[in-house]
A and B are shown apart, each in its own frame.
Chain A
Amino acid sequence: ETGVTQSPTHLIKTRGQQVTLRCSSQSGHNTVSWYQQALGQGPQFIFQYYREEENGRGNFPPRFSGLQFPNYSSELNVNALELDDSALYLCASSLEPGANYGYTFGSGTRLTVV
């Protein structure tokens, strides 16, 4: 059984550019949640996708958008990058939207905006 995988592991972008981050969910999991973790902070909830629909959203602007595909993998897109978007982006998958048993996170994508 494979775990949650994210790509790329690192990338550097210029302010104003657009970026797409990818996440493959754990086998059998139909729910994917995305978090942003700035340096020295706890992860902040961006949004969750369940069966290809957005199931909830945190306090992030519309330039943060996502998709979930029929195989339950997911993408996080960020437009018009700002310096403050520099962070570790974490993806977690789960069997269902409720996370009472805890998430397994992927290894994350470290985004640096210069």
Chain B
Amino acid sequence: QKEVEQNSGPLSVPEGAIASLNCTYSDRVSQSFFWYRQYSGKSPELIMSIYSNGDKEDGRFTAQLNKASQYVSLLIRDSQPSDSATYLCAEISGTYKYIFGTGTRLKVLA
């Protein structure tokens, strides 16, 4: 059974700090990974995708992928209270199906 695992949290960080969210996956052949943000009661929205080892930056967000260790992470710099949400990590299984982790709840304290 292919799995994506995340710590459910909550992860609490002070405003302005760096939030670090982590995810591990079991399928060694997985190639594509995604981070989604989900506010309470809302649908997930795509933040970033990453396909290659290393870092990918987009504004305050940096995704990191390490295929040898089978982990993906998301860094949020200068965290704001509006970043408080659940962050879902996902991988593609086969060519069409996402496998999601259970999500990490982030709280940014003002």
Query: What bracket does the count of chain B residues touching chain A fall in?
Result: 20 to 34
In angstroms, Cα B42 to Cα A40, docked, is 13
Question: Per-residue 0/1 for A31-52: is the Cβ within 8 Å of any B Cβ (1 yes, 0 no)?
Answer: 1010100001111110010000
Interface size on A, residues (CB 8 A): 28
Q: Hey, which chain B residues are within 8 Å of A55, CB to CB?
A: 96
B69 at the interface (CB under 8 A from A): no
**A interface, CB within 8 angstroms of B:** 31, 33, 35, 40-45, 48, 55-56, 58, 88, 90, 97-108, 110
**B interface, CB within 8 angstroms of A:** 4, 8, 32, 34, 41-46, 49, 51, 88, 90, 92, 94-103
Can you list 22 A-B contacts with CB-CB less than 8 angstroms, sorted by A residue number?
A33-B96, A42-B88, A42-B102, A43-B44, A43-B88, A43-B100, A48-B97, A56-B94, A56-B96, A97-B95, A98-B96, A99-B96, A99-B98, A100-B32, A100-B92, A101-B49, A102-B49, A103-B98, A105-B45, A107-B43, A108-B42, A108-B43
Nearest first, the 10 closest Cβ-Cβ pairs linking A and B are A42-B100, A102-B46, A105-B43, A97-B96, A108-B43, A45-B97, A42-B102, A98-B95, A43-B100, A102-B49
